[in-house]
Structure 1
Amino acid sequence: MNGFRALPSVDQLLQTDSVLQLIDTHGRQLVTATARTALDAARAAIREGADGAVQAARLPHLIAADLAGMAQTNLRPILNLTGTVLHTNLGRAILADEAIAAATDAMSSPLALEFDLATGGRGQRDDHLRDILCELTGAEDATIVNNNAAAVLIALNTFGQGRDSIVSRGELIEIGGAFRMPDIMSRAGTRLVEVGTTNRTHPRDYRDAITDTTALILKVHTSNYRIEGFTAEVGATELAQIGREAGVVVMNDLGAGSLVDLSHYGLRREPTVAEAVAEGADLITFSGDKLLGGPQAGFIVGRRDLIAQINRNPLKRALRLDKIRIAALQATLRLYRDPDR
């Protein structure tokens, strides 16, 4: 019992100089709750035979240590020594200085996010990115959502809900976090129709699979694996022609879409978004935070009438970007106007 008398009350503990300093830093409510927890632990130790005076003397240090631990975040800078430059688990692309500055400005003041300064009426947040995306890709129109998975989801849902979407078996990808193309198609409400085999798919496979219930042909860039040897696939240009003949939307999911030819920098060549647009697909989807080098985002570029339908989908509001990412993306895209940089 004498050991317990050595412990201060919560009020007494909160009046000590060391704990008063903690209150200035962390706030009274959190410090009070932490002090109660520390006192409970001290009482438990005394019941096990610990010295009460020793426990009382340790209380301010224990409280300070607990508060410091709570204040520390695991979301902190680290060194990327993995050998993977654009590492999903490490946040992918590091933003350009211009993008960081634009994002900081967006955080610190009101913006004309959905306000048309020219007319004084309501504007659209996609307007801040649409023109430059069309300029850099050659597409008729563009819309933006919060990542590429969302871009694929809303496009499939808009055109394929309750209908069939055709994909080559060799392109039914799985990427990090067990994200599988068949699963996202199911969530979008479209029925998956697989054509060809794992290693070989021919034009006739697509043509034979098209029926009155076909809404969309999906081509998927297999960026994280490669099938070699006895293989065949239908190129985007020929697939676009098949879609036009059948009156079916053709979508090309590039995944980590690039706006520049990486082979100029000694890297493996990846298809660019402008090339995909020129090949004739109706819609092209790609990421903003991978090869493009911006914050997390998903882009859909392509035919104006199809983009308009996507923008009318109620999912668009649920998947839209906030002002911070829009500002950072705009600054990032502007850098591509000067290829030498």
Structure 2
Amino acid sequence: MSEHDPRRALPAAHRLLEHPAIAALRTRHGAAAVRAAVRATLEEQRARLARTDTRAPSLEALCEAVRRRLAQRDATGLRRALNATGVLLHTGLGRAVLAPEARARLDEVARGACVLEISRETGERGVREHEVARALCALTGAEAASCVNNGAAACLLMLAALCAGREVVVARGQLVEIGGSFRIPEILAQSGARLREVGATNRVRPDDYARAIGPETAAILHVHTSNYRVVGFHEAVPPAALARLAHEHGLLLLQDLGSGNLVDLSAFGLPEEPLVGASLRAGADVVVFSGDKLLGGPQAGLICGRREPVARMRRHPLFRALRPDKLQLAALEATLAIHEAGRARERIPVFRQLASPLETLRERGASLCEAVGEAAGEAGFALAVCPSEASAGSGALPAVPIPSIALTVAPARPTARIEALARSLRLGSPPVFTRRQAGRLWCDLRTVAPEEDTELVAALRAAFAATANASGAEVCAGGYTGGCHDEPTD
């Protein structure tokens, strides 16, 4: 390194650590985190100066770079957010919002020791999912029930425990890929079972299944195509007919229902989604489904069915590896108790969102528009309250639009950038996630709880201010001055 190399001007790490601005950061972030940020910042600057002909930054600029690095680290990880995307069960945003009762049970159980896997009567070791199993049987009519830590785990366990080393017959149109590259053929391979696919992508008949059954067949697997829908020239075999065929040949009928519904959705004006109890009554031997979708609970893989196959699943070595923890069980017990009490529509957030009248959403949109209109105008944006289409998400109710209302934000002058506004909202506290469509930013109010409106107003005002400051834009005389426009027609 020559004596004129700009890297020589960079301070040593210990000198930067002694700067008062860095010392103040240690109180908030801890000494180890600050040391790591200082070293990473200096290393980044050395690399930059080695490939560019520029001067080394000042000590103050380095301190600011360290502060930004630590702030960026704090912006990652789990934290509460506002979901204004219009996707009710958004996988990236945690899927189902828990009911107040489930949140209270989480707090109670996390506060100290809890009765997880021990009998209060005898003091001996017990079954951790006993109460969940009891409630599931009561709600679905199953002979036996259990749970693991997610829906994919339940499917893997079912196939490994009941079908390993043998063939499983599946319709070609049901060999789906769900989010995160979860593919039915790959899960079958991991379970030790062998796939025997039948039919065409769009049509499968009873004879297709019957011809595939042989001495190596263990089960017929019926997969609910929860994240897409086939329309047009299409034919499928109802689960009840599959159950009769399977049982005639001494086979099991296994069902992966995906979202696993316990509530009749016709009350919300929505198409029918398979009910767990109906699947069992139709003859399914085991049904698996998720806990954090239309059930409205925490992440979990729920298992319902006949006593003998469920017992085999519980005895399999994977069962312990996939078991849920105390917090999942606490929230799940509370959620199932709400279903048992017949109060899901009024207490579980996803059903409250589905039930919210359009007129109520429109009134909320008008109030929000009035509250942030001036800030929007100063930043160069125009607001409107307009019809929107929400969706269930997470594979539930595919291709079914849910009428909604959104507050939309559009640029009113060239310097107003929708991308910058969306980013500012995501980086705020709490983060707000929206969607961009037709050149506008949409805050869909069906997925924002009424009690979150105050926070949404504050977040929008802060984002408008930050965007205006970043662009350096000024409101021209006679230009847009805020307020709401009529509903757009595009």
Per the normalisation by structure 2, the TM-score is: 0.64
Which residue of structure 1 aligns with residue 103 of structure 2?
100
Q: 1:166 — aligned with what?
A: 169
More deviation, 186-195/72-81 = 72-81
Residues 278 and 31 of structure 1: CA distance in aligned 2, closer, same or farther (over 3 Å): same
Match of 2:243 in 1: 240
Note the C-alpha offset of 1:284.
Answer: 0.7
Query: 1:138 Cα shift?
Result: 0.6
Report whether the alignment pairs 1:265 with 2:273. Answer: no
Within 5 Å, which residues of 2 pair with 1:168-317? Answer: 168-317=171-320
Partner of 1:20: 23
* Structure 2 SS opposite 1:228: coil
The whole-number CA distance in structure 1 between the counterparts of 2:307 and 2:313 is 10
1:6 Cα shift? 8.1
Distance 2:150 2:222 in 1: 18
User: Which whole-Å CA distance do the structure 2 matches of 1:193 and 1:323 have between them?
Assistant: 38
Moved more, 138-147 or 6-15: 6-15
Structure 1 alignment gaps of length 5 or more = none
Q: Distance in 2 between matches of 1:220 and 1:263?
A: 22
Contact 1:217–1:251, Cα closer than 8 Å, also in 2 = yes
Letter in 2 for 1:186: A
1:107–1:324 CA contact under 8 A, matched in 2: yes
TM-score for the superposition, normalised by structure 1: 0.90
- Amino acid corresponding to residue 127 of structure 1 in structure 2: H
Matched, 1:318 2:329: no
Which residue does 1:122 correspond to in 2?
125
Corresponding residue for residue 472 of structure 2: none
Range moving further from structure 2, 125-134 or 175-184: 175-184
Give the match's secondary structure for 2:188.
helix
Superimposed CA distance per residue, residues 190-224 of structure 1 (whole angstroms, 9 cap, x where no aligned partner) = 11112223333222322222211110111111222
1:280-300 per-residue CA deviation (whole Å, 9 max, x = no partner) reads 111111111111111111111
Q: Tell me how far apart the structure 2 counterparts of residues 167 and 13 of structure 1 sit (CA, whole Å).
A: 63
User: Retained in 2: the 8 A contact 1:6–1:56?
Assistant: no
Shift of 1:275: 0.8
Assess, with a 3 A threshold, how the Cα gap between structure 1 residues 65 and 246 changes in structure 2: closer, same or farther. same
Q: CA RMSD in A?
A: 2.5
1:33 corresponds to which of 33, 36, 51: 36
Query: Per-residue displacement from partner, 1:322-341 (whole Å, max 9, x unpaired)?
Result: 11111111111111022243
Matched, 1:50 2:74: no
Q: How far off its partner does 1:107 sit? A: 2.3
Deviation larger for 179-188 or 286-295: 179-188
Amino acid at match of 1:302: G
How far apart in 1 are the matches of 2:155 and 2:46? 57
Partner-residue secondary structure (3-state), 1:207: helix
Equivalent-residue separation in structure 2 for 1:62 and 1:213 (angstroms)? 64
- CA distance in 1: counterparts of 2:15 and 2:232, whole angstroms: 77
Question: What's the secondary structure of 1:149's corresponding residue?
Answer: helix
What is the match of residue 152 of structure 1?
Answer: 155
3-state SS, counterpart of residue 158 of structure 1: helix
* Alpha-carbon distance in structure 1 between the residues aligned to 2:316 and 2:323: 12
In 2, distance between residues paired with 1:312 and 1:30?
Answer: 45
Mean Cα displacement is larger for which, 215-224 or 227-236? 227-236
Matched position secondary structure for 1:166? strand
Aligned to 1:90, which of 89, 93, 117?
A: 93
Amino acid at match of 1:139: A
Q: Distance in 1 between matches of 2:60 and 2:134?
A: 66
CA spacing shift, 1:172–1:36, aligned 2, 3 Å: closer
Distance 1:73 1:245, change over 3 A: same
Shift of 1:46: 8.5
Q: Write the deviation string for residues 222-250 of structure 1: whole angstroms up to 9, x where unpaired.
A: 22223334433221122212222211111
Describe the SS at the equivalent of 1:151: helix
Change (3 A) 1:254 1:49: closer
Q: CA deviation at 1:30?
A: 2.2
- For 1:101, the aligned partner's letter is A
CA separation of 1:274 and 1:17: change in aligned 2, threshold 3 A: same
Aligned residue type for 1:312: R
Measured in 2, the distance between the counterparts of 1:58 and 1:273 equals 60
**Alpha-carbon distance change, 104 to 245 in structure 1, aligned in 2, over 3 angstroms:** same
Does 2:116 match 1:113? yes
Give the share of equivalent positions with the same residue, in percent: 46
Task: Note the alpha carbon deviations across 1:4-53, whole angstroms, 9 max, x for none.
Answer: 998765445444443332222122222233334445667788995637xx
Assess if the C-alpha contact under 8 Å between 1:199 and 1:231 holds in 2: yes
Contact 2:222–2:255 (8 Å) recurs in 1: yes
Q: Secondary structure at the match of 1:177?
A: coil
Deviates further, 134-143 or 169-178: 169-178
Question: Is 2:16–2:59's contact at 8 Å kept on the other side of the alignment?
Answer: no
What residue is the counterpart of 1:339 in the other structure?
Answer: 342
Q: Distance in 1 between matches of 2:78 and 2:274?
A: 33
Distance 1:13 1:248, change over 3 A: same
2:144 to 136, 141, 148: 141
Contact kept, 8 Å, 2:149 with 2:323, in 1: the verdict is yes
The one-letter code of the counterpart of 2:284 is: A
Q: Matches of 2:312 and 2:194 in 1, distance apart?
A: 20
Q: Kindly tell me: are residues 304 and 21 of structure 1, through their superposed partners in 2, closer, same or farther at Cα, counting changes over 3 Å?
A: same
